[in-house]
Amino acid sequence: MNVAKNLKYFFILPGVLSLAAVIALGVWGLRPGIDLSGGSLVQVTYQGTRPPVQQVQKITEPLNLGEVRVQPANQAGYIIRTRALTNDEHTQVLAVLGGLGSMKEDQFTTVGPTIGSELLQKAWIAIVLVVLCTIVFIAFAFRGVSKPVQSWKYGIVAIVTLLHDILVPAGLFAALGHFAGAEVDALFIVALLTILGISINDTIVVFDRIRENLRINEDRGKREEFDQVVGRSITQTIARSINTSMTVIIVLAALYFMGPAATKYFALTLIVGMIAGTYSSIFLASPLLVAWQKWAAKK
């Protein structure tokens, strides 16, 4: 694979997706679920045909519950999110919903704003720790590699690709939150951390093959341009990376289409992150190393 010849083309798709994700996050932002922002969730199922969404919103307005989000669930149910409800308010909500037809309550959950804020804070701490530990680990693991790219640069490039891998699903959910009312919750944070782990694994596989090929060239006294070493390393690992990712994506697709509603967004986050991570591990991380090496050589 001629990395140097196609260098600029590798960066087009990640650049466009990352820019679109940043714009979506800046304009719409993410809609936090109740486990991150606090509040109450009531899920009900009607025995017959469920009433229209507008009617559910209308009958809950007199209860003074603040912002009420009504989301269809399954074939005949609704998920209603409000501020934290007292026991009396919970009873009133069930009473007015029952006035629209025969129904049963499937779930009621309340999370205080303090707990939600604490979960969000810990989530950011976890992501930052993952990033820092990744840089330290890669710099240590590749300490024997100093030419033509220093070991710490492998860590920086890996973090850049990881940012791309979590930006893409985050931007998607910003758009889904605006157009479809999708909310991010603790499972979304778990999915992002999972994406970080899987993506960095694929990236290190390619980097390790680059390191091995550089060592072999040095032992044999063979002179080879760095971009040629990278291209050969990508060719040697591309089939493994794609096959591994596809097996995981197939399982996640089955979970998305046939699994419970509670895990659909979790599966979707992982699917998008896996696709973005597979691309970036092969066509972004290594070309970035080549681009950095060429820039440093010219400087």
How many Å apart are CA 160 and CA 22, to the nearest integer? Answer: 14
**Average confidence (pLDDT) over 159-172:** 92
Q: How confident is the model at residue 83 (pLDDT cuts 50, 70, 90)?
A: confident
pLDDT at 140 over 90: no
pLDDT at residue 280 in the model = 92
Mean pLDDT (the chain) is 86
How many Å apart are CA 125 and CA 65, to the nearest integer? Answer: 32
How many Å apart are CA 168 and CA 20, to the nearest integer? Answer: 8
**Average confidence (pLDDT) over 276-280:** 92
pLDDT at residue 21 in the model = 96
Q: How confident is the model at residue 224 (pLDDT cuts 50, 70, 90)?
A: confident
pLDDT at 145 over 70: no
**Average confidence (pLDDT) over 68-94:** 86
Higher-pLDDT residue of 67, 289? 289
pLDDT at 5 over 70: no
pLDDT at residue 82 in the model = 86
Q: How confident is the model at residue 155 (pLDDT cuts 50, 70, 90)?
A: confident
Q: How confident is the model at residue 276 (pLDDT cuts 50, 70, 90)?
A: very high
pLDDT at 3 over 70: no
pLDDT at 75 over 90: no
pLDDT at residue 4 in the model = 53
pLDDT at 225 over 90: no
- Count other Cβ atoms within 10 Å, centred on residue 128: 10
pLDDT at residue 116 in the model = 64
pLDDT at residue 2 in the model = 63
- Report the predicted TM-score, pTM, of the whole model to 2 decimal places: 0.80
Contact 31, 115 (CB under 8 A): no
**Average confidence (pLDDT) over 40-68:** 87
Share of the chain above pLDDT 70, in %: 94
Q: Which residue has the tokens 């040095």?
A: 218
pLDDT at residue 164 in the model = 93
How many Å apart are CA 172 and CA 25, to the nearest integer? Answer: 9
**Average confidence (pLDDT) over 146-167:** 84
Strand partners, 69: 81
pLDDT at 113 over 70: no
**Average confidence (pLDDT) over 229-234:** 88
Kindly state the tokens that stand for 154: 């492998």
